[in-house]
A = this chain, B = another copy of it.
Amino acid sequence: MATGRTHRPATRSRGIPEATVARLPLYLRALTALSERSVPTVSSEELAAAAGVNSAKLRKDFSYLGSYGTRGVGYDVEYLVYQISRELGLTQDWPIVMVGIGNLGAALANYGGFASRGFRVAALIDADPSMVGRPVAGMPVQFIDDLEKIVDENGVSIGVIATPAGAAQQVCDRLVAAGVTSILNFAPTVLSVPDGVDVRKVDLSIELQILAFHEQRKAGEEPGAGAEAVLPPVVRDAGAAAAAEGRKGPDGDMPAVMPA
């Protein structure tokens, strides 16, 4: 799900559901591991286990790509690796630019997973003049003024934004204007982009917050005694009127600071 898009164009591609596309890299990784161990064929059951999904789901996913399996035997590992790679567009070379070489950006630049599988970091870009020229991941950081030139000369269509939140939209606009049509956003902001541009968002703190939600559920299954909750950071009020509506029965400790 490309968070950051206001309306979902569904992008039902060429009949391949978005949910399936999101799982193809998972299958590809599992298949690559099998390939390295020279395993010739694999059943949907085995591969599904390796990828952490349901076997029926896996078969249906593959059915969107075509009939690449052999009944009674399974799937040919090498063949499937190539088919999925091709479907994902990984048989091409994808030059990417990374903007914002702070802690996170530098780590991403060094991250091996980025360079693998057809992705090639074409340039690292930052707005801080003191960063410019400094080598990060064996590559000199370039100044943001050259962004358009870099994108154009390298034929870059994928950009990674790892700037502070405040600069993200501005950087995004420049990338899009320069011709970038896919953006991976690490800044904690909602980017607005024109139609035809894909944005995917990776937000570390959101992931933690979702975990905290489930964690809280596990911890305080019983209502009434809310364990040891820290005082709410907002002003509290004694009025409990708001709780009267009571859609949620088991919710003993509603602080109720209803606005006037």
Interchain CB contact under 8 A, A211 and B218? no
- Of B90, B182, B227, the contact of A92 (CB 8 Å cutoff): B227
Contact indicator A207/B214 (Cβ below 8 Å): no
Say yes or no for A131: interface residue by CB 8 A criterion. Answer: no
Give the residue name and chain of the B residue nearest to A157 (CB): B215
Residues of B within 8 A of A227 (CB): 92
Number of interface residues of A (CB under 8 A): 109
Given contacts A216-B92, A247-B67, contact A52 B86 (CB under 8 A): no
Given contacts A25-B206, A198-B211, A217-B14, contact A79 B234 (CB under 8 A): yes
A241 CA to B231 CA in the complex, in Å? 69
Cα of A144 to Cα of B103 in the assembled complex, Å = 24
A82 vs B234: C-alpha distance in the bound complex, in angstroms? 7
Q: Which of B24, B40, B82, B113 contacts A213 (CB 8 A)?
A: B24
A29 within 8 A of B: yes
> B202 to A52, Cβ gap below 8 A?
no
Residues of B within 8 A of A93 (CB): 230
A184 within 8 A of B: yes
> Which of A116-124, A146-154, A170-178 touches B?
A116-124
Q: Nearest-CB distance from A258 to chain B (Å)?
A: 7
Q: What's the nearest-Cβ distance from chain B to residue A79, in Å? A: 5
Shortest distance from the beta carbon of A199 to any chain B beta carbon, whole Å: 9
The chain A residues found within 8 Å of chain B, CB to CB, are 3-7, 11, 13-15, 21-22, 24-26, 28-30, 40-41, 49-54, 63, 66-68, 70, 76, 78-79, 81-82, 85-94, 96, 103-104, 106-108, 110-111, 113-114, 116-119, 157-158, 181-184, 188, 190, 192, 196, 198, 200, 202-219, 227-235, 242, 245, 247-248, 250-251, 254-255, 257-259
